[in-house]
Amino acid sequence: MKKALALICVATFAVNAHAGVKEKKAQRAAEENIAAAIVDTKAACGNAQLDVKVAWDEVDAMAADNEAIIQQKGMTLPQIYDGLGKRTQATLESLTKICQDDADYKAAIAEMTNVEVKTKPKYDDYRSAFTLNGTTLVIENGWYMTRSASDFRSRLMDLY
């Protein structure tokens, strides 16, 4: 009986460790994709400095607060991390394309030094929002739906 209980405990810890690894891998992959997009944006726009800060704690809090709808949609935390990374990457790709297409916007975007990535508090709020706070672009990422660079172009241009 003790061996059976010990085996169950070990199996439970292994499952929890496995889930933690999946989440860490998804978060790291998202960060790597964002970092690659930052390199492209800096090259296209001429930013001397462009740092990104993702509020991962907000993502975790949103997931906890919206657990029912997330489960209903069949999503997992690693998928949520992936989605946040892809939306942020699409935003950066949009900035890159704007800089490649328009010298005036390029000059304005080149002054940006920081990108803060935040989350919408409701998982069913799919529309991303953008604000410019001095030289910091604040991205409030929406959820669930996939987005491409062209989806954000006009809203980003409206900031300047």
Give the number of domains in the chain.
1
Q: How many CB atoms lie within 10 A of CB 86?
A: 18
- φ, ψ (nearest 5 deg) of residue 91: -65, -45
Q: What is the pLDDT of residue 151?
A: 87
pLDDT of residue 9: 36
Provide the pLDDT for residue 147.
74
pTM of the model: 0.83
Q: What pLDDT shows up at residue 126?
A: 87
Q: Which domain holds residue 32?
A: 2-157
Q: Tens-digit pLDDT profile for the chain (160 aa)?
A: 444 333 333 333 333 334 489 999 999 999 999 999 999 999 999 999 999 999 999 999 999 999 999 999 999 999 999 999 999 999 999 999 999 999 999 999 999 999 999 999 999 898 999 999 999 999 999 886 667 788 899 999 999 9
Strand positions, DSSP E, the chain: 51-54, 114-119, 129-133, 136-141
What does DSSP assign to residue 143?
-
Q: What is the pLDDT of residue 1?
A: 44
In the DSSP assignment, the letter for residue 74 is: T
